[in-house]
Structure 1
Amino acid sequence: MLLGAALRPAGAQAAAATAAAGPPPIDAPAAVLIEPATGDIVYQRRANQRRPIASTTKLMTALVALKRLSLDDVLAQVPYAAAGAESLVGLRTGERMSVRDYLRGLLLASGNDAAETLAVRTGGSRAAFVKLMNAQAAALGLRNTHFETPVGLDTPGNYSTPADLAKLALVLRTYAFFRETTDRPDATLRVRGGRTIRVVNRNTLVQRIPFVNGVKTGHTNQAGYCLVGSATRDGVTVVSVVLGTGSEEARDRNSLRLLRYGLQRYHVIPAVKAGTPLASADVRYRDGQTLELVASRTVSRTVRRGQRLFTKVVGAPKAVEGPLAKGARLGTILVRQRGRTVDRVALVAARAVPAATATERLSDYGRRPGTLLLLGAFLGGSLLLVLLRRRSHRGEHGGAEAEIA
């Protein structure tokens, strides 16, 4: 008997949940907030407006380097003539350090000297590396993004949007090293030869707010104060971008409001739990026995509060016959979210079913109404045949005696 053939809600908490309050007051010139598991754009203000992006440019510098270099590669620092106010790791020309530490200096301290070395050593020249950056942007579908520098200083033609930067951050967050690095308050870089350099994360929200775990700051006169942010709490992750604010305080305030708003609006609920019976099947040759069909694994999904997940069982048999191993697949559970199938889970046997014995098969046949009718018909036919044969035999014997007399 099928228990889950129709769509049904998963997660009692979701049914009782209420939607979060409206969006917070945001005064950043351009901003976006994305919940990546659902793909929701939770908040946006001029999300596709092209703007200077300062050192958030270095996100693409990091991505190209991650794709083309090994973290264990060792690079020599190239000459870099920095202006007085630039952010630097503090490497001297010719000093050697691993790509791992160059990226930490790039992402935490926003080191322009680190960006220059990664660009030249990866692409052969700054210009060649910028071409790689733009090729990568095109491959990711960042249609409103263009680079003229791997560093992020104000340069005509170097721009992006909140929406594009959020997409770029999501790609980078698929790298465990990137997630770990941008969630660090500081790091110690090891220069070959014994010198160490301590760098501090310029994203002070990471240091102050436990659930904030990234991503990258930026600031120039033209771009204002910028921050690509991320936060994770109770399994929910959101990514924000704030561009063009007038101060670090405004940058952080707007970012934190967006991140908190996103985390409040979503939660993770189970769609199906491993071992939960969702259907059953009769066991042939064993009168009254049924086999539970259960979910093979647990599936949880991020959903907006007040929304639901649904499950639907397809392909489950009404009856099964042994031998059948525990865990044998006997159907599929469809997990549905917002009218789309978002996962498929095997529906499996909860226990093993041994092959039926000859006695069980005979007993089963004997219990069937059709079997009794057939047996009755067989016996009746057999009796009739015996009577006919006896009558025929008697007739033949009686005729012979008449002729002799």
Structure 2
Amino acid sequence: MRMVITVMLAAVLTATGLLAPAQARTAPKVTAAEVYLIDATEGTVRFAKRETRRVPVASLAKVMTAYVVRKVAPLTDVVTVSASDVRHAVSGGATRAGLRAGERLTVRDLLYAMLLPSGADASQALARRYGPGVGRFVSRMNAAARSLGMKDTWYTNADGLPQTGGDRSTARDQVLLAQAALRDPVIAAIVGTERHAVAKTRAHRAHVWRNTNELVPDEAFGVKTGYTRAAGHCLMFAAERDGHVLIGVVLGDTGPAARFRTARRLLDAVAAT
């Protein structure tokens, strides 16, 4: 509960521009193009690098998709996966959760499918159902971004796949989103899960989904990875160090392992101060 209250407080401070810069002893070496890290407990900015530069954020967009779904959909709702949902993920070369047309899964399970293995098939199914229609759902995403104070963010789809006039956001805005998402206990529990299994039923086949965030569960309690060629390797992360909740975003890193190294260096640097 204290972590949730702390995240809520820092969200207000960030949105109003009241976060104070912290005094770091040494700046960590980072390879990412854009970085933003806050100490949500103290209400301070611990590291910032091009944090207001507008860039693609790849699958970090799915965190907003989850946030919007949680506002409009009961967890027990059942969604039927369509052939178009699967085709969308396949044609876009996206990461998939292995869903098949005709499967019927709950919203809860589809959130796991979207946030752990980063399934674009799952995000498409959710967006199509709860727009209704993907276009209306994206409008919901942009309205939510405005309500959260994400002034430099624009979404064009529910998964962050490359698109003409595509998604743009900033590291600072994505930290705002992380704070909002972590205030939801369901999203917080999902992104902090290492593995989720769904048993076979008449409605769907068996699935096992693993979190793509290598920091979970030992080094962090969330949140989401992302990658496209345009966005580079991205990471939204949240961790606790010495009783302090730290929330950060790494955008445009040089490789899949580099984003985790960057996050670890940032967390270690805070712990050393």
Partner of 1:116: 124
Partner of 1:70: 74
Tell me, what secondary structure is at the counterpart of 1:137?
helix
Equivalents in 1 of 2:188, 2:200: separation in Å?
23
Q: Deviations over 1:270-300 (max 9, x none)?
A: xxxxxxxxxxxxxxxxxxxxxxxxxxxxxxx
1:234 positional shift: 3.8
Tell me, what secondary structure is at the counterpart of 2:118?
coil
Q: Deviations over 1:111-139 (max 9, x none)?
A: 00000011011111010000000000011
Partner of 1:199: 209
Partner of 2:104: 96
Q: Does 1:167 align with 2:167?
A: no
Residue of structure 2 aligned with 1:154, choices 121, 139, 162: 162
What letter matches 1:95 in structure 2?
E
1:75 positional shift: 0.9
What letter matches 2:214 in structure 1?
T
Number of aligned residue pairs? 245
Equivalents in 2 of 1:231, 1:57: separation in Å?
20
In terms of fraction of residues, the more helix-rich structure is 2
Tell me, what secondary structure is at the counterpart of 1:32?
strand
Moved more, 23-32 or 186-195: 186-195
Equivalents in 2 of 1:221, 1:129: separation in Å?
25
Contact 2:175–2:248, Cα closer than 8 Å, also in 1: yes
Contact 1:30–1:243, Cα closer than 8 Å, also in 2: yes
Equivalents in 1 of 2:109, 2:72: separation in Å?
16
Q: Does 1:140 align with 2:148?
A: yes
Tell me, what secondary structure is at the counterpart of 1:38?
coil
Query: In structure 2, do the counterparts of structure 1 residues 85 and 241 end up closer, same or farther at CA, with 3 Å as the change threshold?
Result: same
What does 1:229-248 correspond to in 2, within 5 Å?
A: 229-248=237-256
Unaligned ranges ≥5, structure 1: 1-18, 266-405
Query: In structure 2, do the counterparts of structure 1 residues 145 and 253 end up closer, same or farther at CA, with 3 Å as the change threshold?
Result: same
Identity, % of aligned pairs? 36
Contact 1:97–1:190, Cα closer than 8 Å, also in 2: no
Unaligned ranges ≥5, structure 2: 1-22
What letter matches 2:238 in structure 1?
S
What letter matches 1:26 in structure 2?
V
Equivalents in 1 of 2:271, 2:129: separation in Å?
40
Partner of 2:48: 44
Equivalents in 2 of 1:263, 1:133: separation in Å?
35
Equivalents in 1 of 2:199, 2:144: separation in Å?
30
Partner of 2:234: 226
Tell me, what secondary structure is at the counterpart of 1:160?
coil
1:253 positional shift: 0.7
Query: In structure 2, do the counterparts of structure 1 residues 162 and 20 end up closer, same or farther at CA, with 3 Å as the change threshold?
Result: closer
TM-score by length of 2: 0.85
TM-score by length of 1: 0.58
What does 1:8-19 correspond to in 2, within 5 Å?
A: none
1:235 positional shift: 2.6
1:95 positional shift: 0.9
Highest Rg: 1 or 2? Answer: 1
1:163 positional shift: 0.3
In terms of fraction of residues, the more strand-rich structure is 1
1:189 positional shift: 2.7
1:168 positional shift: 0.3
Tell me, what secondary structure is at the counterpart of 1:43?
strand
RMSD: 1.6
Equivalents in 1 of 2:59, 2:239: separation in Å?
20
1:191 positional shift: 5.8
Equivalents in 1 of 2:149, 2:234: separation in Å?
22
Residue of structure 1 aligned with 2:261, choices 237, 246, 253: 253
Partner of 1:307: none
Tell me, what secondary structure is at the counterpart of 2:198?
strand
What letter matches 2:196 in structure 1?
A
Equivalents in 2 of 1:72, 1:97: separation in Å?
9
Q: Which has the higher contact order (CA 8 A, sep 6+)?
A: 2
Tell me, what secondary structure is at the counterpart of 1:199?
strand
